[in-house]
Structure 1
Amino acid sequence: MSMGTMSLHRVCGVFVFLSLCLISIPPRCHGGNILVFPLDGSHWVNMKILLEELHARGHNLTVIREDNSWYIPEKSPLYTSITFDSKESFEDMLGAFLQEHMKMQREGASPLTFFKVTTHFMYLLSHAHSLWADATIKMLEDQNMMNSLKNSNYDLVLTDPAVAHGLVLAKYLKLPIVLNVRWITSGEGHFVLAPSPLSYIPVPGSGLTDKMNFIQRVKNMLFHSIILFQQKFVLEPCYETLCNKYIEGGCDIISLLQEADIWLFRSDFVFDFPRPTMPNIVYIGGFQCKPAQPLPADLEDFVQSAGEHGVIIMTLGTLVNALPKEVANEIASVFARLPQKVIWRHKGERPSTLGNNTLIVDWMPQKDLLGHPQTRVFVAHGGTNGVQEAIYHGVPVLGIPLFFDQYDNLLRLQDRGAAKILQLGDVNGKTFEQGIKELLHQDSYRQNIQRMSRLHRDQPMAPMDQAVFWVEYVIRHKGAPHLRTEAYKMPWYSYYCLDVLLLLLTAVTVLLMSTVAVFQFLCCRRKRKAKSKQN
């Protein structure tokens, strides 16, 4: 073969390779115009990560925020903001609730404690949603703001389904909706989207897994009833005036949730239990996770000083600055007796039993510490971010769940042998020390969570790329109604085919009765003939 022919073959090979690469790249979306209506607090932390990626890819973002927002700044290089007035700081309201909630948990598990916690939580929900509904009404009555929103030609609304204000606004503006996170006004999004048999799908808050005996299935049904009651009688009334006055034909929150074009669920089936799903649910669990970056020099020196014993890190998330004083002192005394070094995010009163091996910090680079080879155990409250980062980096978890979905998150790790749960009411020096030592010295915990880490990372497409692709998909196609099922429009008796069953039972009954009638007629006729012959 001549040199010219060989060169031609190389050129052709390179051309074919480049062509295949170009074909494999999904179509890009020209910069979209996205209206973002987030929820403050830890939900915003995740929303911001997604906004950073959307901004980097050329999309124009407008964020609606409260005037007393505690995490969402008015000015940002990522977005322009629209600020609305709110009557009350949700941060103050939530802070008071959390302190009272922890106090009740320390009373110990009992039916009375459960009743107090449940009623307290329902009051918080009702009050918070009423405030958000009132704030949304004020926005809709501001004609200048509404005209500005209508004239801005947004491509979609990206919002948080845990509160309904973004849903109502999107409906009012007649825009496609992308929902971020799986938590809704009451419970978890799967339960309003996909078939959810209560025989093997645990209801949030029930503390159950997908393996339930008879008594546990009864408990699961009762918890589902509480959530239905909460949605129907606690939350829906908060939005009645808003829906009836501003949405043509009225609306209800569940229907608005079901009309969403795409749901970005911060979960996956390495973490969650297998269950039926829907084509417009996109699983982006761990989308915020990235390889660890180098630690600041002083923190790296502290970590390395632990030697072969390694490091334990502890944080209770963004909402809780400190545990009750007596609990913090018990935990500090256990840390002081361990050979490991400890990094503890703690903003409360400094524990009197603190040892020299424990470093108290106001903030820690959690992702980078979890990815550090010296980290042995993660003591955490069980928030979604921390749990998914622990899975990504393969660090076993000692969980102290405090509220909301935290126990359910930790339960999924514990069921797979990757975590151990300590209820706040049971935390003392003895139980905490036993839990820490169990995770440090039983290799199965680390092996199990590292297996989860390998499964989580083994994906054809990074979760963040999936999230951005589907947001851009909605922009390109002006929605995704073809991914929504028609089942939501069916009455319950049609959904379960009770009308069909009734028809079939009626037909069978008529057939049986007709057959019996024919036999009776024939028997009577034969008897009459027999009597005639005898006469």
Structure 2
Amino acid sequence: MSLHQVSGIVVLFSLSLVFFPQHCDGGNILVFPVDGSHWINMKILLEELHSRGHNISVIRVSKSWYIPETSPLYTSIEIEVDAGLEHFYDTYIQEHIKAQRKGASMLTFLKLTKDFCSMIVDGHSLWRDAMIQLFENQNLVKSLKDSHYDLVLADPANGPGVVLAKYLNLPLVLNVRWITSGEGHFVLAPSPLSYIPVPGSGLTDKMSFFQRVKNMLFHGLVLFQQKFLLQPIYDAMCEKYVEGGCNLESLLQEADIWLFRSDFVFDFPRPTMPNAVYIGGFQCKPAQPLPADLEDFVQSAGEHGVIIMSLGSLVKTLPKDVVEEIATVFATMPQKVIWKHKGERPSTLGNNTLIVNWMPQKDLLGHPQIKVFVAHGGTNGVQEAIYHGVPVLGIPLFFDQYDNLLRLQERGGARIIRLADVNGLTFEKGIKEIVSNSSYKMNMQRLSRLHRDQQVAPMDKAMFWVEYVMRNKGAAHLRTEAYKMPWYSYYCFDVLLFLITATILLLFSVVAVFRCICCSGKRKLKTKQN
């Protein structure tokens, strides 16, 4: 082999080290997920981690309705929760929908707030009790310690995952948008309330004076929820089982990496931190071919195209009168309709509407025949609509759904109808506006182009940073220690007080000197006169 050939091989090898990311030998990962739609996101991450040779253990509750006990991806570690979580959330959701339909009023707002606070307190209490059972199970605790995990991957919408990471003294990676008390950025990064809307406020990043007042009040509700409702639930457990006790907010701020299920194509611009990694849309993939029968139905729509409707997995059915009015509107449309609906079949259903219990949502959204996506505004559906460039008619029901849809509406890709306002007239008007006004489609296609125009794919970013934490035993150098400062030091009130005091003392000193000089001069003058 010539020297020239050897040099070429060396150059190629060097380039491969530069352009191909480092890989981590198979790691040992402990996962603490949240059930429901959150599990859909977590499972996609686990599939990728498993394909890269990592060993995964998943902590699940015995009555889980989304997380299977057996899986080729992971080994299950089961803990007991007294109530079935599916029934627990379903009761709240149905009551929430009933209250919302009564219309917007202060009384309705107070009821919804009260019901929400009761729901989260009950939910976190269930998890607290389950974690106490885990800590009291010495065999299970020993098994967890002997497994020598490299890190904990947790969804911090519930507190136990971050508490367990602290208890085991392991690096922590968060698969996050929501934490125990709202949106994750509010404990991670500076969040000026002048232009950062608090979730639930229904505001954008452009606020008038009174909107900023409203934003401040909603932030106060979030702080009340965290300090007086949630933290006390975990206090006794932390004091008993975690050396030195623990505070949920501080534990979150100690996390090594935050994998945010968001990005700034979707969200409003805001300050962030070095350990925040944005993986919004990581679950999105190019559409796969539809099943033959579904493809035939879609193609039969011709030039008018297809409308698809899904309100997620948690809502069993809308109120009957709303369902009937929606079905009536669909029956009059020239488009074909695919409607994911689990309730009683509407009596006004038209021949153009196909009712299904499940549909391949990602593959349908990627089909060129789809004209409108009628959705509740869950994060998964919103990100998939952006990825495929499909405009949305949003009917938000609860949680973060209105805020998600509001971001699309502000960018011209969606229109929102509140549940209390849904009737035949408003629903038909919303559908026809999106179909006939091409700006909705153009704006969503623009967002799709922006989302896809990334140097590194969101999933690749997620994998790199999980493996980075494993390789380096954490990422403490990327997180700030500011959370350890008292509030008056963080906002420099002590410095301001010192400077004001020093200035006042200096002024008093100058005045005192001048008074002394003046008094001395007067005495001398008096002496001369005498």
1:240-259 map, 5 Å: 240-259=235-254
Q: CA deviation at 1:16?
A: 3.3
Q: CA deviation at 1:255?
A: 0.7
**Which residue is 1:33 aligned to?**
28
Q: Which amino acid aligns with 1:223?
A: F
| Residue of 414, 417, 438 corresponding to 2:412 | 417
Q: Which amino acid aligns with 1:458?
A: D
Q: Is 1:520 equivalent to 2:515 in the alignment?
A: yes
| Residue of 459, 465, 468 corresponding to 1:464 | 459
**Which residue is 1:151 aligned to?**
146
Q: Which amino acid aligns with 1:528?
A: R
Q: Is 1:362 equivalent to 2:343 in the alignment?
A: no
Q: Give the gaps of 5 or more residues in structure 1.
A: none
Q: Which amino acid aligns with 1:193?
A: L
Cα distance in structure 2, aligned partners of 1:202 and 1:504? 33
| Residue of 92, 98, 112 corresponding to 1:97 | 92
Q: CA deviation at 1:218?
A: 0.1
1:120-159 map, 5 Å: 120-159=115-154
Cα distance in structure 2, aligned partners of 1:448 and 1:471? 34
Cα distance in structure 2, aligned partners of 1:113 and 1:126? 20
Indicate the larger mover: 131-140 or 503-512. Answer: 503-512
Q: Which amino acid aligns with 1:411?
A: L
Task: Give the 3 Å change call, closer, same or farther, for CA 110–26 of structure 1 in structure 2.
Answer: same
1:440-479 map, 5 Å: 440-479=435-474
Q: CA deviation at 1:497?
A: 1.1
SS of the residue corresponding to residue 269 of structure 2 reads coil
| Residue of 214, 218, 222 corresponding to 1:219 | 214
Cα distance in structure 2, aligned partners of 1:220 and 1:84? 39
| Residue of 474, 477, 493 corresponding to 1:498 | 493
Give a deviation string over 1:466-524, Cα, whole Å, max 9, x none: 11111101100111111110111111111111111111111111110011111111111
**Which residue is 2:298 aligned to?**
303
Q: CA deviation at 1:19?
A: 3.8
1:183-202 map, 5 Å: 183-202=178-197
**Which residue is 2:265 aligned to?**
270
Q: CA deviation at 1:14?
A: 6.9
1:312-391 map, 5 Å: 312-391=307-386
Q: Which amino acid aligns with 1:42?
A: S
Q: Which amino acid aligns with 1:476?
A: R
Cα distance in structure 1, aligned partners of 2:163 and 2:76? 19
Q: Which amino acid aligns with 2:292?
A: A
Q: CA deviation at 1:11?
A: 8.1
**Which residue is 1:533 aligned to?**
528
Give a deviation string over 1:122-181, Cα, whole Å, max 9, x none: 000001101100100000000000001100111011111000111111111111111112
Q: Which amino acid aligns with 1:324?
A: P
SS of the residue corresponding to residue 193 of structure 2 reads coil
Q: Which amino acid aligns with 1:133?
A: R
Structure 1 length normalisation: TM-score? 0.97
Q: Is 1:56 equivalent to 2:51 in the alignment?
A: yes
Q: Which amino acid aligns with 1:401?
A: P
Cα distance in structure 2, aligned partners of 1:25 and 1:318? 39
Structure 2 length normalisation: TM-score? 0.98
| Residue of 49, 53, 76 corresponding to 1:81 | 76
Cα distance in structure 2, aligned partners of 1:137 and 1:15? 57
Cα distance in structure 2, aligned partners of 1:82 and 1:169? 13
Task: Give the 3 Å change call, closer, same or farther, for CA 244–426 of structure 1 in structure 2.
Answer: same
Cα distance in structure 2, aligned partners of 1:405 and 1:11? 59
Give a deviation string over 1:177-225, Cα, whole Å, max 9, x none: 1111220001111000100000000000000000001000000000000
Cα distance in structure 2, aligned partners of 1:56 and 1:476? 18
Q: Which amino acid aligns with 1:163?
A: N
Q: Which amino acid aligns with 1:165?
A: P
Give a deviation string over 1:329-360, Cα, whole Å, max 9, x none: 11110110000000000000111111000000
Cα distance in structure 2, aligned partners of 1:344 and 1:241? 47
Cα distance in structure 2, aligned partners of 1:450 and 1:354? 31
Q: CA deviation at 1:15?
A: 6.0
**Which residue is 1:65 aligned to?**
60
Cα distance in structure 1, aligned partners of 2:233 and 2:499? 42
Matched residue pairs, number?
530
**Which residue is 2:479 aligned to?**
484
Cα distance in structure 1, aligned partners of 2:105 and 2:155? 34
4+ runs deviating over 6 angstroms: 8-11
| Residue of 152, 160, 173 corresponding to 2:155 | 160
Cα distance in structure 2, aligned partners of 1:159 and 1:499? 37
Cα distance in structure 1, aligned partners of 2:492 and 2:55? 46
Q: CA deviation at 1:13?
A: 5.4
Cα distance in structure 2, aligned partners of 1:530 and 1:9? 100
Cα distance in structure 1, aligned partners of 2:70 and 2:261? 27
Cα distance in structure 1, aligned partners of 2:310 and 2:228? 36
Cα distance in structure 2, aligned partners of 1:512 and 1:524? 18
Q: Which amino acid aligns with 2:204?
A: T
